[in-house]
Amino acid sequence: MLQIKLYTIPVTKTEDADEMNKFLRSVKVLETIQQIVAGPNGSYWCFCIKYYEGGMALQTTREKVDYKDVLPPDKFTIFSKLREWRREASKSSNLPAYAIFTDEELSKIALLDAITPAEIKSIKGIGEKKVELYAPAIVQVINDIADAR
């Protein structure tokens, strides 16, 4: 169940954050909002922490999908090349690979008949920013595969 906890810590007494830090280590935090507030008795850090009750035990694992079994061979080839591209893009941008595209998103891109920015954007989870950043590279990967055939 989603919960909210508030902490107020004087700016000059950061050692008072020990209780909050202990709490943060014990739960699965969804969001932390922080702000400095000036009051008649001084300035304070105010923290609003949204978390799941029950702590870290609520983490779940997803079943692993073998895309070689799910995709037709020609589409799996595209998927594999897109994963190679994503790995390189991940390294160069210092982002985790899944932040660029998930395997599920790459598999749906591989299944598209026409690889255009509009078609890529039609996939659930892919928004305008990802299309703007990565669609040209994806189109190039697909064109390179077609040229190699």
54: pLDDT confidence band, cut at 50, 70 and 90? low
Predicted pLDDT of residue 55 = 47
Residues 48 and 73 in one domain: no
Q: For 103-131, what is each residue's pLDDT tens digit? A: 999 999 999 988 899 999 999 989 999 99
Residues 73 and 103 in one domain: yes
Q: Are 35 and 46 in contact (CB under 8 A)?
A: yes
Residues 101 and 75 in one domain: yes
Residues 78 and 38 in one domain: no
Predicted pLDDT of residue 61 = 58
CA neighbor of 29 nearest in space, from 45, 61, 7: 7
Residues 133 and 80 in one domain: yes
CA neighbor of 103 nearest in space, from 68, 128, 134: 68
Q: For 16-39, what is each residue's pLDDT tens digit? A: 788 888 888 888 888 889 999 998
Res 140 pLDDT > 60: yes
- Residue 111: give the domain boundaries: 67-148
Q: How far apart are CA 126 and CA 43, in angstroms?
A: 42
Choosing from 30, 58, 86, the residue where a domain stops is 58
